[in-house]
Amino acid sequence: MMQRLGLTARLLALGLLPSLAALLLLGALLQASMRESLHGGLAQRLGDSADRIQAHLSLGADGQWRYGDTTPSGAFNQIFSGAYWVLQAPGQTLYSRSLWDASLQPQAPAGRSGLLRNRDPRGRALLGLERRIEQDDQQATLRVYVLAEETDQALARIQRILFMGLGALFIGAALTTALQVRWGLRPLARLQQRLAGMHDAAPTGHASTADNNPAALGSGYGPDLDPLAHEIDALLERNARMLARGRAHAADLSHALKTPLARLSAQASQTPQVPSPLVLAQVHSMNGLIERHLSRTSSSGDAHAAGANRQAVPVHEVLQQLVQLMQHIRPEKSLHWQLDADRSAQALHWRGDRADLEEMLGNLLDNASKWASRRVHIQLQAAAPANAPAPPRLPLCITIADDGPGIAAEHLQHAGQRGQRFDQSTPGSGLGLSIVADIAHSWGGQLQLSPSPALGGLQAQLWLPA
């Protein structure tokens, strides 16, 4: 049942139901206490009347009880006055003159007060007290009654005042609880309105305050809801990054598939029949590319997710193979490829995924061969950047420089962004350098671009953990 109610209704119910139960319990206790108090006072008055009646009772020589009060003005002497007494003894029953010729049937005590309930000859409710008396070894039972109307009316009046007070108290508690719930849920209502307003806001991928970022909840909802808003912002930021990463990997995949498709297209344009080994090799290459990009898209895109694919990759061997491949791809340019690595560098192994390393180096070498005029210089070394302190494990640095036109200084900071192309005369999609930067970042590395001091073209330094 509670699951079908809203949060406001639940809070009101949880706040009011215990209050209502407590008020009902308090009302019942107060009512019982008032009843006992009224009945106790009545019992005391009846006891005083019983004392006066007992004072006029005497036991005759024949063993019979006699009542010697001859005062005609007493309530017990006025017919059907509502005040009665009855004395019962073995073989004898005495009545007050107020009963005239009628009688009262004995009743058992009712309630905690011990008072007797009965009705007089006119059908009016009576309350009475029973007392046992003894004289000269003779025992008798005296019952004294008065009308219950006065006591019942007083009790009804007290109950009415009591329940009116408790009702007013409950209404006040209900209003107070409603105001508390309304005021307490106001930050949650603002959070809901902010979430509803975010449907029309484009995700920025960066959580910030609601004042300067329409796609973020920000803060200002109170100490209880601010952590929730921050968690929602973090979730939105993560989803935005995953969406951007998915789009980026889709673009990367399309970029990576262009090379095997171009090879198949070039072979098909030269011969009417493409050799099946070439087709199978390119299909296998495309399948590998698709599997790698799907795996990278489903992962979180950081070094922790990539750590499952770590292996010792001989960097110098990969560079040699890629340089030989580049020499066959653009034989018309007759480029001079220079690969420098001392003996210690030749023995370096990078702990990562070989396919990722081949993709990073392949994009950098392809970019260098595209823009170089005559020379491409590759240097493999284990050294920290000149402007940074050496880490505990020296990073692996691969420098690829060419003697091409390079990139203007004002464009270098944007060169690694997706789709950035500064020369439309050369075919390309502007994704190569961004792919390298993304993969390097996922492994905890980085890509630095700068003018080549030796060759004058572009110098790309790929830093990777050793």
In a domain, 230, yes or no: yes
The pLDDT score that the predictor gives to residue 424 is 41
Note whether 369 and 262 are same-domain residues.
no
Distance between CA atoms of residues 149 and 82, nearest Å: 10
Note whether 85 and 153 are same-domain residues.
yes
In a domain, 35, yes or no: yes
Note whether 455 and 370 are same-domain residues.
yes
Q: Which of 300, 328, 343 is the last residue of a domain?
A: 300
Q: Which of 262, 277, 300 is the last residue of a domain?
A: 300
The pLDDT score that the predictor gives to residue 140 is 92
- Considering only the C-alpha atoms of the chain, give the largest distance between any 2 of them, rounded to a whole number of Å: 156
What does each of the 466 residues of the chain score in pLDDT, given as a tens digit?
555 677 777 788 888 888 889 888 988 898 888 888 888 899 999 999 999 998 888 888 888 888 887 666 688 888 889 999 999 998 888 988 888 888 887 776 666 668 898 998 898 999 999 999 988 888 999 999 999 998 889 989 998 999 899 899 999 988 988 888 888 888 887 877 888 777 665 544 444 444 456 667 777 777 777 888 888 888 888 777 777 777 777 776 776 676 677 667 766 777 777 777 877 777 777 776 677 666 666 554 444 444 556 788 999 999 998 888 888 777 777 889 999 988 888 888 898 888 888 889 988 998 898 889 999 999 998 865 555 554 545 578 999 999 988 887 776 765 655 555 444 444 444 567 888 888 888 888 888 888 998 898 999 999 988 7
Parent domain of 235: 225-300
Note whether 159 and 234 are same-domain residues.
no
CATH number reported for the structural domain that contains residue 411 in this entry: 3.30.565.10
Note whether 1 and 97 are same-domain residues.
yes
In a domain, 216, yes or no: no
Note whether 278 and 339 are same-domain residues.
no
Q: Which of 253, 272, 300 is the last residue of a domain?
A: 300
Note whether 294 and 321 are same-domain residues.
no
In a domain, 85, yes or no: yes
In a domain, 205, yes or no: no
Note whether 260 and 339 are same-domain residues.
no
In a domain, 209, yes or no: no
The pLDDT score that the predictor gives to residue 465 is 83
53 and 142 in contact (C-beta within 8 Å)? yes
In a domain, 206, yes or no: no
Note whether 112 and 142 are same-domain residues.
yes
Note whether 87 and 188 are same-domain residues.
yes
φ and ψ at residue 59, rounded to 5 degrees: -110, 120
In a domain, 212, yes or no: no
Note whether 327 and 445 are same-domain residues.
yes
Note whether 36 and 171 are same-domain residues.
yes
Number of domains the chain is built from: 3
